[in-house]
A and B are shown apart, each in its own frame.
Chain A
Amino acid sequence: GAVVSQHPSRVICKSGTSVKIECRSLDFQATTMFWYRQFPKQSLMLMATSNEGSKATYEQGVEKDKFLINHASLTLSTLTVTSAHPEDSSFYICSATRWGDRHYGYTFGSGTRLTVV
């Protein structure tokens, strides 16, 4: 089955620093990767859609200069939270899929718990 690895699983950083989160599709080439954010007891909110080799498409209200997404290859996408602040503390989850191929579905990573202090 499709496997998506997300790293790190949890990170604590100081306010003002940047944090990079990696999302890798381990056994398939993902044409599209999605980044979500989830606050406690709430649903997943899509932040951006990332296609390999092109710029990410951000959802309304998501600052693209703050949440930098790089999708350098068909198996790796990264989310960098720049100049992190305590309000950026959240659970970040990536998802990978291959267009039109239901075998791989939308596979999710295990999430990254970011705490900004």
Chain B
Amino acid sequence: GESVGLHLPTLSVQEGDNSIINCAYSNSASDYFIWYKQESGKGPQFIIDIRSNMDKRQGQRVTVLLNKTVKHLSLQIAATQPGDSAVYFCAETSNFGNEKLTFGTGTRLTIIP
């Protein structure tokens, strides 16, 4: 969704538990979605992506779910580890590669040892 400059929401999860990070987007024309992980002082790092013709995609320990009806995206991280602590952003675009990415507000995930 459109970032409106709000401070980041936070999520704390016990190490080993699963975490779910949610994102709402507003542009019904968006057809490509990406989740990024950003550690302090670094650029965003690609985690997983999904196109609008899919509703679920799985990677290593991560799953992205897309609900186009309600314009909602989620990132599930299984068996969280301390290294998963970071800020997570969803991003959306249409006409892949030729159009800008619009970033969501972001969520700070903290893994509790």
Binding site for B on A (CB under 8 A): 4, 6, 31-32, 34, 36, 39, 41-46, 49, 91, 93, 95, 97-102, 105-111, 113
Chain B 76-112 interface residues, beta-carbon cutoff 8 Å to A: 89, 91, 93, 96-98, 100-106
Known A99-B98, A100-B97: A105·B49 in contact at CB below 8 Å: yes
Question: Which residues in B have their C-beta under 8 angstroms from that of A93?
Answer: 43-44
> In the complex, what residues of A have CB within 8 A of residue B42's CB?
110-111
Contact B89 A106 (CB under 8 A): no
| Chain B interfacial residues counted at CB < 8 A | 27
**Min CB–CB distance A37 → chain B (angstroms):** 11
Is there an interface contact between B103 and A43, defined as CB atoms closer than 8 Å?
A: yes
7 contacts between A and B (CB under 8 A): A43-B104, A98-B97, A99-B98, A101-B97, A105-B49, A110-B42, A110-B43
Q: A95-B101, A105-B46, A106-B101 are in contact. Are A111 and B5 (CB under 8 A)?
A: no
Are A109 and B43 in contact, with the CB atoms below 8 A?
yes
Is B41 in contact with chain A by the CB < 8 A criterion? yes
Whether B43 pairs with A108 at a CB distance below 8 angstroms is yes
Of the residues B7, B41, B93, B103, contact of A44 by C-beta under 8 Å = B103
How far apart are the CA atoms of A13 and B79 in the complex, in Å? 44
Contact between A111 and B43 (Cβ–Cβ < 8 Å)? yes
* Residues in A neighbouring B105, C-beta threshold 8 A: 43
